[in-house]
Amino acid sequence: MDPDLLAAASVSAPAARAATVDRAALAAYITSLPAAEKDTLLEAVLGTAPQPGPGLLARYHTTRLPGPRTTVERRTAAQLLDAAHLRRTERTRRLTQGKAAATRTRALEISRAREARLSQLAQDTERAWRDVDQLIGEKKAGPYDIAVTLLTDLREIHSRGGTSSAFEDRVGALRATHRGKPSLMRRFDAIGLPHP
C-alpha cells in the first residue's frame, strides 16, 4: 500500500458546513406537526427540557436530509489520490533539498580541509618533496597514489606562489629519475604532470 496514500487518508477531511435554517420552512414544519407533538414541544419550552431549540432543530433536519448526518465530508478516491500525490511531491522536494544541502556542506568541509592541508604543506615544501621521493622509493601502488596526491598539492602551492616553473623543473627531474616505473608514469600522466 502506498504510504503517502495511507497518510493522506488518515488526515481528517474538512468539517462539513453547518446546515442553515430556512425560517419559513421551519415554520411550515412546525405547523405540520401533530397537535400532541406541539404540546410536548411547548411543555419543553416551559422548562421541562434544558434546551428545547436544538432538539426541535435536530428533528427538523432529520426530516429534511436523507440518511444519517455526519460532521465530516467523505472524500472521493480521486481526492485521496490527489492528496497522496501532493504529500509525495512535498516529501520528494524536502529530500532533494536535504541531499543538496548535505552535498554543499560536504563540499565545503572538503574544501576547508584541503585549504588547511595546503596551508600546512606550504610551511615546509622541501619536506613535502622529500616525502614524495621516499614514497616513490617504496615502489608500491599505495605509496605512489599518496605521492601523486602530494604532487597535486605541491603544484597548487607553487601555482599560488608564482613558482610554477620551479615545480615543473622538479617534476621533470622526477620523471627522468623514475622513467623505468611505468605504473608511476601513468599516474603522473593521469594528473597532467609535465614532461621534461
User: Average model confidence (pLDDT) for the chain?
Assistant: 83
125: CB partners within 8 A, 6+ apart: 154, 157, 158
From the number of C-beta atoms within 10 Å of its C-beta (0-12, 13-18, 19+), residue 154 rates as buried
What CA–CA distance (Å, rounded) separates 57 from 53?
Answer: 6
The burial of 7, by beta-carbon neighbours within 10 Å (0-12 exposed, 13-18 middle, 19 or more buried), is given as: middle
Tens-place pLDDT, residues 49-100: 555 466 666 666 666 665 554 556 788 888 888 888 999 999 999 999 999 9
The pLDDT of residue 31 is: 85
Residue ranges covered by each domain of the chain: 8-64, 75-119, 124-190
Q: What is the number of helices (H) and of strands (E) in the chain?
A: 9, 0
pTM score: 0.51
pLDDT, mean of each 10-residue run, the chain (196 residues): 75 58 79 83 61 62 59 79 91 94 95 92 93 94 94 94 93 92 94 86
